[in-house]
Amino acid sequence: MLTTRELTVTFGGLHAVHGVDLQVAEGEFVGLIGPNGAGKTTLIDAITGFVAPSAGSVRFAGDDVTDLAPAERARRGLVRTFQSLELFEDLSVADNLRVAATPAKWWDPLADAVRPRRGNDRLEQVAWALDVVGLGDAGAARPGDLSHGQRKLVAVARALAGRPRLVLLDEPAAGLDTDETLALGAHLRTLSEHGVSVLLVDHDMGLVLGICDRVVVLDVGSIIADGTPAEIRGDQQVVDAYLGAAPS
């Protein structure tokens, strides 16, 4: 589904991401972890087109998308969330998702007039995305009426509203309490059942090691480990670089 080859991002003399080879298979749930400053968000930015790589390539669903704009990658099914929620507080939860359900094109008003069913398609996508994250009854609410954990789930649902093939989640559990994180993990784990592959970036090791099929560890812009959660827990290089204590 996703392959990067020798992906490199430099800012001046700083190699934020250096020669990263990363793969996510169809239906796979992959975690990406590493210490602060390891280059995780920059890597996501490069994969989704928000930062131009200095070298290397990004392939998605068999096509080279290295030079495509973020919107075009999203149309092909490669989407992401951001650490800041950026919800429209004056819109309902459902309308927040409708905005993202179909990337806008200049001919959309004409197409909607010719084929009104398109609007129903979007409503169905919104309802599906809310159901996936367990917020099927919250469509009419405003974001301000929800808890912080629910607002996080709305952000995930917004990314899902366009029915992506791969979603990259950037710190979705940041600021959540233990119960909210457990609920989030349970909902995220179901995404593969809906045909959505996942690349998850988060600092909550309980979440990442508990729900991912495979975990990739980034340090100083380079991959230092790639394996199952059990393998990552027992990797001394990962313990030294990130986990900070020998596994019990």
pLDDT value at residue 102: 63
Q: What is the pLDDT of residues 138-195, one digit of tens each?
A: 899 999 899 888 888 898 899 998 889 999 999 888 888 888 888 888 888 888 888 8
Residue 82 forms part of a structural domain? no
152 shares a domain with 117: yes
pLDDT value at residue 106: 47
Q: Is 66 helix (H, G, I), strand (E, B) or coil?
A: coil
pLDDT value at residue 107: 47
Residue 83 forms part of a structural domain? no
169 shares a domain with 158: no
Domain housing 32:
1-77+164-248
| Bridge partners for 57 per DSSP | 5
pLDDT value at residue 205: 86
47 shares a domain with 155: no
Structure tokens that stand for 216 in this block: 């990739």
pLDDT value at residue 66: 96
Structure tokens that stand for 37 in this block: 């400053």
pLDDT value at residue 82: 86
Between the two ends of the chain, the Cα-to-Cα distance in Å is 35
Q: Are 78 and 107 in contact (CB under 8 A)?
A: no
217 shares a domain with 95: no
- In percent, the amount of the chain with pLDDT more than 70 equals 89
Report the 10 Å Cβ neighbour count for 55: 13
- Strand 14-24 relative to strand 2-11: parallel, antiparallel, unpaired? antiparallel
Domain count, the chain: 2
- In percent, the amount of the chain with pLDDT more than 90 equals 48
96 shares a domain with 39: no
Q: What is the pLDDT of residues 85-139, one digit of tens each?
A: 788 899 999 999 988 776 555 445 555 555 555 555 678 889 999 988 888 898 9
225 shares a domain with 190: yes
Q: Is the pLDDT reported for residue 22 higher than 90?
A: yes
3-class SS shares of the chain: helix, strand, coil, % to 5: 40, 25, 35
Q: Which residues contact 10 (CB under 8 A, 6 or more apart)?
A: 16, 54
61 shares a domain with 118: no
